[in-house]
Amino acid sequence: MTTPASGQPAEPAGAPSGAGGTATADPDVLRAEHISKRFGAVTALRDVNLHLARGEVLGLIGDNGAGKSTLLKILCGFQRPTTGRILLHGQEVTFKSVDHARSLGIDAVYQDLALINELTVFHNMYLNREHVRGPLLSNRSMRREARKHLDEMGIQIPSVDVAVAKLSGGQRQAIAVARSVYSDAKILLLDEPLAAMGVKEGAIILDLVQDLKRRGDVSVIIIAHNYGQVLEVCDRVNLVQHGEITLDKMSRDTSVQELTELVVAEYRKAMEARQHNA
């Protein structure tokens, strides 16, 4: 049903295309076209077009409630779009479930982390892709692998045997990210991976993303609020406002200042509209 994670993903067969895409026919590993999502009367996304190249790190920024998380949940198969289509390696796909998307190489770290407080660190790391021997869980192998991966990433926790409830917010976040990174996913979706992080823990996650970028075969979408960090680690940024993507620029062509001004301008416009109505 689910494949156990087995350490480092294999090297890509072809040459990794650099960030930003090369001149191949379709450099995009993931493409979302005309995606919209309505929850009853509320429109969370309208006609969103998004693309992600192989090995690229894309930052999604925007105010709270702009639709970033909804977009991510659609891309990882947790929710279905109301309209629009998703192309994976140029082929149209309909994700039937999170498991289905995961089997196609897409994995997500959610804002709420999807960790189970009652379970140990290593059970959380292998949640729903447990190692088994026959009908029984192979705790020993999961424990060993979890310890190895966390050590490699420099994530410090007292023990992989403690319940996740006993860890700090940053440690929990680090475990959630580590879980996805070591799942053999080729497309990683990170919803605010830096929230609740101390400076040191945040740096670990950023380093991790840089490592993935260097490897070249994993593409990443990150939702984050710290524009400085976004520009540092992402190749490209998309600004989401009111359920639409209003800006799509390479990181080197924009600045913290520009992004901040755009978001603040939106806020001002909303305030003026409100005053105008009053």
Partner 1 sequence: MSETAERAPASGPPADPALAPGQPGARASSVGRIGIRLIQQRELTVFIVAVGLVIYFSSVSSSFFTRDDLVNISQIIAPLAIIACGEVFLLICGELDLSVGFVYGFAPFLMHYLIDFYSVPAIPAMILCLVFGLVFGYINGFITIALGVPSFITTLGTGLILLGFTLVTSNAYPALIPESAVGPGHWIGTYAWSMITWAIVLVIFFQIVLSRTRWGLHTVAVGGNILGASEAGIKVKRIKYGNFMITSTLGAFVGLQVAFQTNSIDPSSGGYQPMFYAIAAAVIGGTVLSGGSGTIVGAFLGACVLGIMQGGFTLIGISANPLGIIFGGAILIAMIVNVQFTRLRNAGRT
Residues engaged in binding partner 1 (CB under 8 A): 2, 78, 97-99, 102, 108, 110, 112-120, 122-123, 127-128, 130, 132, 135-137, 139-140, 142-143, 158-159, 161-163, 166
Q: What is the CA radius of gyration of the chain?
A: 19
Query: Closer to partner 1 at the Cβ: 183 or 254?
Result: 183
Instruction: Measure CA 180 to chain center.
Output: 9
Closer residue to partner 1 (CB): 33 or 130: 130
Q: Which is nearer to partner 1, 2 or 226 (CB)?
A: 2
Instruction: Name the minimum Å distance from CB 97 to partner 1.
Output: 7
The tokens describing 259, both together, are 């992004």
| Rounded-to-integer distance, Cα 95 and Cα 75, Å | 8
Nearest approach in angstroms of CB 189 to partner 1 is 11
CB 275 to partner 1: min, Å: 38
- Please say which residue, 122 or 227, places its beta carbon nearer to partner 1: 122
8 A C-beta contact, residue 175 and residue 124: yes
Q: In the bound complex, what is the minimum distance in angstroms from residue 237's beta carbon to partner 1?
A: 25
Quote the least distance from Cβ 117 to partner 1, whole Å.
Answer: 6
Name the residue nearer to partner 1 (CB basis): 87 or 114: 114
How far apart CA 97 and CA 45 sit, in angstroms, is 20
Residue 108 contacts residue 189 (beta carbons within 8 Å): yes
Residues 209 and 220: their CA atoms lie apart, in Å, by 8
Cα(220)–Cα(187) distance, rounded to whole angstroms? Answer: 6
- Would strands 106-109 and 187-191 be described as parallel, antiparallel, or unpaired? parallel
* Smallest distance from partner 1 to CB 95, Å: 11
C-alpha pair distances (Å), 124 with each of 73, 117, 148, 177, 226:
20, 9, 15, 11, 27
Q: Which is nearer to partner 1, 46 or 143 (CB)?
A: 143
